[in-house]
Structure formats: C-alpha cells, structure tokens
Amino acid sequence: MLPDIPRERQLGILRKMLMIRRAEEHCIRFNEEHTGLLRGHFHVYIGQEATGVSVCDWLNPDDYVFTTHRNHGHVIAKGGDPKKVLAEIIGRATGYCQGRAGTFHVAAPGVGIIHTSAIVGGCLALAGGTAYAAQVKGEKAITVVFFGDGAMEEGVFYETVNIAKLWNLPLIFWMENNYRRAGGRGAGNAALELTNIPKALDVETTVIDGIDVGTVHKTAKSIVERVRGGQGPLFVEARTHLWPGNAFNMPKLIGGVTDIAWAWDAGKAPEKVRDWHKDHDPILNYVRELESAGMSRAELAKIDAEVSKEADAAAQFALNSPLPAAEDAVKYAFAGEGN
Ligand SMILES: Cc1ncc(C[n+]2csc(CCOP(=O)(O)OP(=O)(O)O)c2C)c(N)n1
Ligand SMILES: [Mg+2]
C-alpha cells in the first residue's frame, strides 16, 4: 500500500530508500573491490530501508534517533549526508566523526544522532537518557531507538523499558526483526512472541509488516503523534526479511547491485536473489506500487539514475578524502582546549 501523502513526498521516501541502498552497495564494493579500505567487520541495512525512512519521515530535525551496528541507513534516513557517511565508513577525515568512528559508530549530532554503539543493545539506555532530558527540560523532542530482535536478549532492554514506562518517557522502541538468528523469532529468547516482553511491563505494542512502506508510514505517524502527545513509551516490532547477501559473516553482493527493472521483470534477477527481490525487497515493492498508481517505468528509472549518480559521487568523495593526520591521533580523546 502507498502512504497516504502527496506524490512528491512519496517520491522523497523512494529517493531516500534508494540512496541507502546505493550507498550501502558502495560500502560492500569498498570491501569487495579494494584491499584494506574497510578495516574489520561491517553490516548493512539492505532490506530494512522502508522502516527507518518511513519513521524518520515523521520526525523533526531536533528529535533524537539512536541506532545500531546497521547505522548507515538510519543516519541517511534522519537527514545525514551520504558523502560524510561513506567517508566515515572508510575512516576518512571528512567523515561524520573525522574518521574515528568507522562503519560501526557513525554518529551525526547535527541531525539528532548524538551517538552510535555497535554493542548490541548499547543505545537503549542512552535513548532513555535523551527522552528523560527532553521531558525534564520541557522540550517537544521525542526519541526513537531502533534496535534488532537480538537486543531484546540484553538486560539493558528490560531496564530501559521499565524505567521508560515508570517515568512515562517520550520514547519509541522500534524493533526491527530481521530473523537473522537461526530459528528466527525468539531463537535466543524464551518468550514465544518478543512483544510479550514489553507487554509484561505494560507497554503497548504493535506488530507490522516492515517491508510495506504504506503500513510502516501509517503506523509511524500514529506512534510518533501519540508519544509526542505525552502518551508515554510505545513499542513496535517491524518484521522484515533477511536480504540473502546478509546471510554471511560479512555482507556480499551475491546478485550484484539492485536493478530497478527487476521490479517489473523479476526473471532477470540472478537466481540467488530473485525470490527476495520479488517478494521481500521493500524498495522494489514500493516501485511496483508507484507504477500501479500511474507512474511510468521511465520516470521511476530516472529517479533511480539520479540517486545512483549522487551515491556514486558520494563514494568518490569518500575515496578521494584524506585519512586523519597522524599528529591528530589523540585529538578529541580528552575533553578540554583544542578538542
Ligand atoms: C553485547 C554484544 N554481544 C554480541 C555482539 C556481536 N553481535 C553483533 S551483531 C549481533 C546480532 C544482533 O542481532 P540483532 O540485534 O537482531 O541485530 P541484526 O544484526 O539482526 O540486525 C551480535 C550478537 C555485540 N556486538 N554486542
Ligand atoms: Mg536481528
């Protein structure tokens, strides 16, 4: 279903989702086509784009967002600059954190993402903190914390939900269930339904299809309005489907970059990724819906070409950017003058 908003805004959502996809394809290519660019492990948000983009579409610039080891998508969704995201991913001085954070910890305080942690569940308590601060200061800002199903195994999840409910904090718990763990739902959790856990702490929960933009957008609107209106913390489980390229220790472009034409000609997609793009890719689903609503294939392909060009330029910007200077190694390490 398409979100019930003007066409221009619908297309803004498409552009953002495509930007995340294209930027992250570059991220994987940084790893596959170069040596030593990405040092260590990394994760991508491919397949979950409908969630972050639709939620952030209802947020104000001064609302807070906390994210995870899959942060690239959330940072771009909240208004982050893809150039600075890609530069940070490969540790460049032009990146959001001047190359100190790398792929796992991209943070963009200017757009409301004041910190990122790759520790599973690491941002939950921090999100409780910004929600509490906003409440004490009487600000209108709300906080959204995105996290995975796996984070619900961490003790900090229970502590944060509990205190958020007790103090009626303006906090949205937005869980993205990507069924990554073997066995799927609840694989590392005794709860049969993960929503049973917040429910036990008297926090209202909603379960939605996280690949359908219209559903996520509509849900996010009401959840954001209610939390902003002082109705306390709410919990959403958005269910997505694992992108086949994520089924490894490191993401791989096993079918190459996404071709928007697979939206109307699924048979052209490589077999390894065909079913996923046909049934579970939030972007191609959305493209099909826009086409059914009267947009031409040429118009949709043009948007993709424009976004891809911008993402290519962002990747080039990152590659051309310098590493941080050696003499600046301890800069920002200590509070005080010069930092
Ligand atoms: C406290 C902690 N334990 C283990 C890890 C290693 N680790 C990284 S991602 C991940 C899976 C997390 O699952 P989930 O929260 O559902 O996120 P997903 O990767 O599925 O998006 C684990 C165990 C970690 N980063 N932090
Ligand atoms: Mg998961």
Residues contacting 61, CB < 8 A, separation 6+: 79, 111, 112
**Cβ pair 211, 282 in contact under 8 A:** yes
- Overall average pLDDT of the 116-136 stretch: 97
Q: Is the dihedral of CA 200, 173, 248, 104 positive or negative?
A: negative
Binding site membership of 73 for ligand 1 (Cβ less than 6 Å): no
Binding site membership of 67 for ligand 1 (Cβ less than 6 Å): no
In the chain, % helix, strand, coil (3-state, to 5) comes to: 50, 10, 45
- Residue 36 Rama label (left phi>0; alpha psi -120 to 50; beta): left
Nearest of 317, 261, 312 to residue 26 by alpha carbon: 312
Distance 209 CA to ligand 2 centre (A): 15
Binding site membership of 105 for ligand 1 (Cβ less than 6 Å): no
**What confidence tens digit (pLDDT) does each residue in 277-293 have?**
999 999 999 999 999 99
Binding site membership of 69 for ligand 1 (Cβ less than 6 Å): yes
The residue to mutate among 67, 68, 69, 243, having the most atoms of ligand 1 within 8 angstroms of its beta carbon, is: 69
Binding site membership of 150 for ligand 1 (Cβ less than 6 Å): yes
Mean pLDDT of the chain: 95
Binding site membership of 11 for ligand 1 (Cβ less than 6 Å): no
- Overall average pLDDT of the 214-222 stretch: 98
**Tally of CB atoms within 10 A around 200:** 12
Checking if the pLDDT of 186 tops 70, the result is no
Top-confidence residue, 71 or 190: 71
Spacing of C-alpha 8 from chain mean position: 22
**Domains of the chain by range and CATH?**
7-318 (3.40.50.970)
Binding site membership of 119 for ligand 1 (Cβ less than 6 Å): yes
**What confidence tens digit (pLDDT) does each residue in 233-255 have?**
999 999 999 999 998 889 999 99
Q: What per-residue confidence (pLDDT) applies to 213?
A: 98
The residue to mutate among 120, 147, 152, 179, having the most atoms of ligand 1 within 8 angstroms of its beta carbon, is: 120
Distance 11 CA to ligand 2 centre (A): 28
Distance 68 CA to ligand 1 centre (A): 9
**Cβ pair 149, 133 in contact under 8 A:** no
CA–CA separation, 103 and 208 (whole Å): 28
Q: What per-residue confidence (pLDDT) applies to 336?
A: 73
CA distances from 326 to 36, 132, 162, 294 (A): 18, 39, 45, 55
Q: In the structure, what pLDDT confidence band is assigned to residue 3 with cuts at 50, 70 and 90?
A: very high
**Cα-Cα end-to-end distance for the chain:** 49
**What confidence tens digit (pLDDT) does each residue in 289-321 have?**
999 999 999 999 999 999 999 999 999 999 999
